[in-house]
Amino acid sequence: MKPQEIDILLETLDTTLNSNSFWITLDLTENEEQVETEIIQHLRTGSFHFELVKEDLRREFNDYSEIIFPKASNTPIVLQKPGNLWNGVEQLTIDEIGKSLARDMLIDLLTGKQDFFSASTLGTQINTNKANELIANLFEILDEKGDWKAYNIEPDFLYQVESYNNTNPHLPGYFENDGRDLALAIKYDAEVHILLTCGYS
């Protein structure tokens, strides 16, 4: 699910947070109620990392892949950089939250009100009216898809940029630990969408 409203949200979060924001989609086992178990399984198998790399390419950041030109070929090949962003955490801190709280958290990221997150000194925040409109449009397309639940996940399951650079200089981490890291899960019956944000300075 990548409707226009999702891309508008991601692009705006990039600007307000100084972030590389992602929206990844993971399949869920039919009738599975334990969303944490499902996400951990995707982290273990590498499918979470793969989906993040695909989103990174789609959004043209290209932080987690590289382009090479094979000998005797004019056609470039895109390869994943070695490594995995999952830091090995086997237990997520994940809480179901109301849609109103999810909305307030997103509004805070967009406006820099600092009710939940720090404000970026390099970002350009938007006014509350514009943020309300953007999130209302997002929730409308989420509701059109069916019933959903929101979950706030503690953003400690992917390597931080600074710590991972020290161990694997070829693959940057993701979270910045600068007060604007977010992992917000939107769960439907058969899939979960995870909005990721970071943000430095």
Per-residue pLDDT at 2: 72
pLDDT tens digits along 36-53: 999 999 999 999 999 999
- E-assigned strand segments in 58-147: 65-68, 77-80, 94-97
Helix (H) or strand (E) holding 196: strand 191-197
Q: Which residue has the tokens 């109301």?
A: 98
Compare 89 and 201 and report the one with higher pLDDT. 89
> Which pLDDT score, from 0 to 100, does residue 200 have?
84
Q: What is the pLDDT of residue 201?
A: 84
Q: Where are the domains of the chain?
A: 4-197
Q: What are phi and psi of 86, to 5 degrees?
A: -65, 130
For 17-35, write each residue's pLDDT tens digit: 999 999 999 999 865 568 9
The per-residue pLDDT for range 130-187, each reduced to its tens digit, is 999 999 999 999 999 999 999 999 999 999 988 766 666 667 799 999 999 999 999 9
CA–CA dist 59, 197 (Å, integer):
14
Per residue in 55-82, pLDDT tens? 999 999 999 988 888 887 788 888 888 8
Global pTM value: 0.94
Cβ neighbours, 10 Å, residue 167: 10
